Amino acid sequence: MKAQLHLALMQIDIAWEQVDDNLQHIEQQLTQLPAATEVVFLPEMFATGFSMDVEKLAEPMDGRIVQWMKTQAARHRTILCGSVMIRDQGQFWNRLIWMQPDGKYGIYDKRHLFAYAGEDKHYKPGNRQLIAQVNGWRVALYVCYDLRFPVWCAQQPTDDGAPAYDVLAVVASWPSSRIEAWDLLLRARALENQAYAVGVNRVGKEPHGTLYPGHSAVIGPAGQVLHQASSGQEAVICCTLEAHQLQQVRQHHPFLRDRDHFTILNC
């Protein structure tokens, strides 16, 4: 594992269903990032907002949004990560894309669809997890509501007994009415899994009235808040994760060796 991992969390206001405006806004933000940035995290459905209008807005994997991610990742020589409304194999997916500068990518389809907002009536749930790698760091990727489900996010040992991931990353559209849960769950997921937790949430207001406060944050592997963006304002958190801090927590408090081992069935 490389000694440091340089991240940027882009807490932005998403223009409702205005793809071109949102992509242009993100492009402007990308030009201002430090050159050392290795991964940029964007909020859930960063190009459209958390919309259910799949017939109008969903795109195929070779559509303009994914192609835009490929272009920007190559141009800025950084990984771009965020979720997109995708049409694939006759189904609609809230799909997180991990786009590398070389054009290769990984995908994670949101497992826990937010039935309270009717998401389950428009999208198909995923059944596979994604742990991406960058310079030896392993990053487990999730979308918004997944954060509420500790079993889905739990560390499972690799063949050599090591933890499965070093960073738990969540891209979200998490509203003001439940933001205390977001703050609490990010810290809980970091603490119980002895991993950094990175959560990026949007700000702004949707046409139907839902408010988003941000609270994007980086949490240390002992559950401490390392960085948190201001509430209700656009912000970019640029931070550096330290491998030695992660290793120190795991060595001094080896709680993970006592965890329950289990297999998730019927995904």
Q: Which of 64-73, 144-153, 157-166 comes out lowest in average pLDDT?
A: 157-166
Q: Give the rounded percent of residues in the chain with a pLDDT score beyond 70.
A: 99
According to the model, what pLDDT value does residue 267 have?
Answer: 58
- Per the CATH hierarchy, to which homologous superfamily does domain 4-258 belong? Carbon-nitrogen hydrolase (3.60.110.10)
Task: Spell 42-72 as b/e; 16+ CB within 10 A means b.
Answer: bbbbbbbbbbeebeebbbebeeebbebbbeb
Beta strand 203-205 pairing with 105-109: unpaired
* Tokens matching residue 204: 């702004």
**Does residue 161 have a pLDDT over 80?**
no
- Spatial separation of the C-alpha atoms in residues 231 and 243, rounded to whole Å: 29
Beta strand 131-134 pairing with 196-201: unpaired
Helix (H/G/I), strand (E/B), else coil: 123: coil
Cβ pair 191, 167 in contact under 8 A? no
DSSP class of 116: G
Task: Spell 196-224 as b/e; 16+ CB within 10 A means b.
Answer: bbbbbbbbbebeeeeebbbbbbbbbbebe
Q: What pTM, to 2 d.p., does this model score?
A: 0.96
* Sequence ranges of the domains in the chain: 4-258
Residue 92 burial (CB < 10 Å; 0-12/13-18/19+)? Answer: middle
- What is the set of active-site residues? 44, 110, 144
- Spatial separation of the C-alpha atoms in residues 228 and 217, rounded to whole Å: 4
According to the model, what pLDDT value does residue 265 have?
Answer: 76
**Does residue 93 have a pLDDT over 90?**
yes
According to the model, what pLDDT value does residue 266 have?
Answer: 66
Q: Where are the strands (E) in the chain, listed by range?
A: 4-11, 39-41, 79-88, 91-99, 105-109, 131-134, 137-143, 167-172, 196-201, 203-205, 211-213, 217-219, 225-228, 235-242
DSSP class of 13: B
According to the model, what pLDDT value does residue 60 have?
Answer: 98
Task: Look over the chain and give the mean of its residue pLDDT values, rounded to a whole number.
Answer: 96
